Each structure stands twice: as structure tokens, then as C-alpha cells.
Structure 1
């Protein structure tokens, strides 16, 4: 029977089955351990019962991606959450999270909270920075359920994680997105009955329209310099023109005849995004050379 691992704790894996959406407690077959394959939350698996009430994970289907911090596989969407104020948005960090998501084949969706605590002018300024990119932006306040319902529709049938700094309202947002569930940060293992000692585990919470949200609110960005080369960075700025520079190997920095620099000068590409590109390019070069 096919299913999806939605929680793993204490050597047990909880698989939501495709057949009837029931959740079954499973253990990993010994052959997986011998092959050094560790089942991960988000994995699509095949399970089988040898004895009544006992289920084993037989195999793990090919993964779209896998993350280590926290451990989760097959993520489709990254909800990148920043606040408009308190704290003010760090747009360089935002761009780093966009790139980290794209590298792992995760579709990023940018969410700005605390809209009611800032001015329309500040919202417009952020929109102008990202208007030439394909990224979807949502601006909303704590009680703006209409916008959060639009975000829910983006997750339908998919698996998503949240990323962004602390204090921006990720947990509040997650608790609205998920149906009758609460995001926790130190859930007690009822099976192990360890009293006051909590066991941290990773879990997928079901959203109101059949999607999944990772229960870990503090998803961190990967170090970009460890993942891509300097000449690859330009591919993660989708508004940059392709093949229009004088030199095919143009890094859009000091080369003559650069179409991207012309677009920046003409206001066709955000100067803020371009500055972030140069900063990250310099960082990657220093780390790798």
C-alpha cells in the first residue's frame, strides 16, 4: 500500500495511506537500514503488513529533494515569511531564501505580515523591487483571513515549509493555515511516555485543503556559497536578461557590454536586487577562491 510519512518519532513512522487516508504506525524494514536509507518525513513510501496490526516500510520512492535542517523530503513550496515592521524586512536575507528554495526545486511564495502596522508607501516600495520577478507576494495582517485563504489555495495537495526570521508571525499564520491543528515546538511523545521530557520531532500538519505544512517554523537558509558557483548565481535572478550581454560568460559585474547593468541603469531591474546579486557574488567568490 502506498502512503506518505507525516511524522517520525522514536524509530516509528506514521504513514498516511493513499487508499483511505488512515494513518498507520510503521517501522522500517531491515533492508533499508542495511542500505543506509533513512525514512524521512515527507517520503512517499510503500508499506506492507506481515502480521495483523504490524506495518513495515518496504521501499521509499524517488525523492524530489531532501533537507537536513530539519529533515524533510519532497517539499514543493517554501512560504518565505517576513514582517513589514518589528522587525523590518531584511531583503538580502529574503533574496538568499529565494535562491535557497530555487536550488532545491522548491517554489517560493513571499508573505509579508503586519501590513496594518506600516504605510502603503512602504508596501509599494517592496512591490516595485520584485515586480519584474515571477515570485508571488502576499501582504496581510493578523486578521486578514481572505489573503491567508489565498495562500492556502496555493498549498492544496502540496507540501510546504516556512522560512524567515523570528517574530514575524509564522506560528500564528501556520495555525490558521492548518485545520484543527496547532504548531508545536516541543511535542511530547505519547508512545514513549517520558513524562516531562519532551521529544522533538518533525511532523507534517494538514492544511485546510489537503496540503501539508511542516511544523517547524524556523527553517533556515543554506549557505549559498556551498551550493552554487559564481557563474551559476545569475540564473537565480529570473529578471536578468539571458544571452544579451556582449560576452557569454558575463557575470554582470565589471564586464563591458553588459545588458543587465544597462537594465538596472534604465530602471528596468531593481537596483536593490542588483546590489544583492553583487554582494552574494562577492561572497561566493571569497568562499570558493
Structure 2
């Protein structure tokens, strides 16, 4: 049994659990007949018919699967934004949080370039996201203790990075996967070995047994295509549940709304609430067309 960490040209490279080695495998014909395509991240059963020849016998049930880039069984999404240069787009950040949760991925918020902002600017971001249950990290490129914390957070799990360009994802990934060579700015492997040189999706091993996807290609999905208006509130975990006068309360114009009251009392970030209203309106426009 093992995990597919790379796939190129019909060959799949499986990191085994027992022997801690990577084996080149092909998929059984029965998988093709069943139209099951092995995907990077899949947990698989393998067997050898001949010495040195390994076959993927079966693919275990998936926790989730993504299309772009193709990867399965992602546990954690590292949502990476800089605190300055570029200024963080918090609406996009909140969309990425929701996109992660919809796919059953635990989001972890990482704010980089801490050395470029004042304590007041950092406090403003902590005020917004400190009211949520999400794990928060604030750090600079040379803040190795914090990046070690992130490494421990994804230990034994599969993670991806998402966020805009120029925020330090490559530098961060280089630290998390210190024993592998990556191109700063591209988050891609320099393939210096083997006969395969085409671009591909690959899981890179982190320092403590986790895996990090080698592409920054994740972005927020179109929220209106994934959830309905009355489902959006469930993806704001700091919103109180079942305390409004009306069970169907959308936390917008209804009277005796506990969420609006919590915003007024400062228990919920006004910024997050405004983003909620913005997304709610977007879903309404898209779904009534």
C-alpha cells in the first residue's frame, strides 16, 4: 500500500508505507475499463507480478479530488497572503477559505512579510481573523520558528498552497521541503534526474513526513456554482447557529438576527460580515439568471 506522489506518461510513482521507498507502477487494465484514473495523492494497493514490475491493483476511497491541478486526498490548504506588497485582498482570502472547506480541506491562514508592517497593521488583521476558529500564522522569511510550526501542522498530511503571486509561497515551500530543489517564483521542481522532463503534478515531501503539492495552481472556485444562498452562512464558522428568530435567517435584512447583533457587539468582524453580504448578493445574481 502507498501514495501516488507523481504520475507521468502512464507511469505512477508510489511512495510505500512499509518500506519507505518510491516504486514505478502502471495501472491494471481493469482500472481503465472501469474508467478510474489514478491521481496524484491517491492511496493505492500495489502488487508485483514480476521482479521489478509493479501494478496498481486498486484505489482506496478518496477524501476529495480536484481537477485543476489533478490531485486527491488533500488535508490542508495553506492560504498564503502577504501583509504588504501586495496588500492582502481579504475578500479573495475569504473565498479561498470557503473553497477549501467545500472540498473538505482544512484551511490554515498564513500572513507573510510581517517585517514590512507596523504592530497596528498586524493587530487589524488579527482582529478580523482572530474571531474565527482558523489557525493563524504571521511571519517573515527569516522567522524559522513559525515556519517550523507550519511544518509540524502539515506533518503526515497532504497540503496545497493557494494565494496571489508575489506573497512568498515559493520561499515558504522551499523551507518546508528543505531537502528538495525548487525554483523560487515558480514552485516547480527542477527535474535533474530520469528521462521525464515534462511538467507534471507532484507531491513533495516535507521535513516531517507530510506532502506539499508542487504547484500554486489552486484558486477560489466560483462560489455561486458550488453552494446555494442558504448554505453560505454555514461556511462562516464564527456565525452563531440557531439563535435567530427565523430558522431560515440569511443574516441580512431579517429582524432579531443574532449575527447582525454579534457584528454590532464586535464579536464578529464587520469586514468578514461585509464579505458575507457581498458573496450572498453574488450567489443571488448568478442563481436567478
Taking structure 1 as the reference length, what is the TM-score of the superposition? 0.95
Kept in 1, the 8 Å contact 2:68–2:217? The answer is no
Task: Assess if the C-alpha contact under 8 Å between 2:156 and 2:208 holds in 1.
Answer: yes
Q: 1:66 matched to which residue of 2?
A: 65
Partner residue in 2 for 1:4:
3
**Equivalent residues in 2 for 1:140-151, closer than 5 Å:** 140-151=139-150
Answer yes or no: is the 8 Å Cα contact 2:156–2:210 preserved in 1: yes
Structure 2 partner of 1:107: 106
Deviation at 1:29, TM superposition (A): 0.7
Which residue in 2 is equivalent to 1:157?
156
| Aligned match of 2:165 | 166
Cα deviation code 1:154-206 (max 9, x no counterpart):
0111000000000001011000001311235375595546xxxx511011111
The Cα offsets for residues 205-229 of structure 1, whole Å up to 9 and x where unpaired, read as 1111111100112321211111111
Equivalent residue number for residue 234 of structure 2: 235
SS in 2 for 1:142: coil
1:50-199 matches, cutoff 5 A:
50-183=49-182, 184-185=187-188, 187-188=190-191, 191-192=194-195, 198-199=197-198
Question: Residue in 1 aligned with 2:208?
Answer: 209
The answer for the alignment partner of 2:17 in structure 1 is: 18
- Per-residue displacement from partner, 1:217-252 (whole Å, max 9, x unpaired)? 232121111111110000000111111111000000
Cα distance in structure 1, aligned partners of 2:165 and 2:42? 28
Contact 1:230 1:281 in 2 (8 A): yes
TM-score by length of 2: 0.95
Q: Which runs of 5+ in 2 are unaligned?
A: none
CA distance in 1, matches of 2:285, 2:213: 34
The equivalent of 1:283 in structure 2 is: 282
SS in 1 for 2:202: strand
Whether the 8 Å CA contact 1:164–1:218 is kept in 2: the answer is: no
CA contact (8 A) 2:251 2:259 kept: yes
Helix, strand or coil at the partner of 1:253: coil
Count residues in correspondence.
Answer: 284
Q: Is the 8 A contact 1:159 1:211 kept in 2?
A: yes
Gaps of 5+ in 1: none
Please give the per-residue CA displacement for 1:231-274, whole angstroms capped at 9, x wherever unaligned. Answer: 00000001111111110000001111111111111111110000
Q: Within 2, Cα distance between the matches of 1:186 and 1:210?
A: 18
What is the CA–CA distance in structure 2 between the aligned matches of 1:218 and 1:8, rounded to whole Å? 17
Cα RMSD after superposing both structures: 1.3
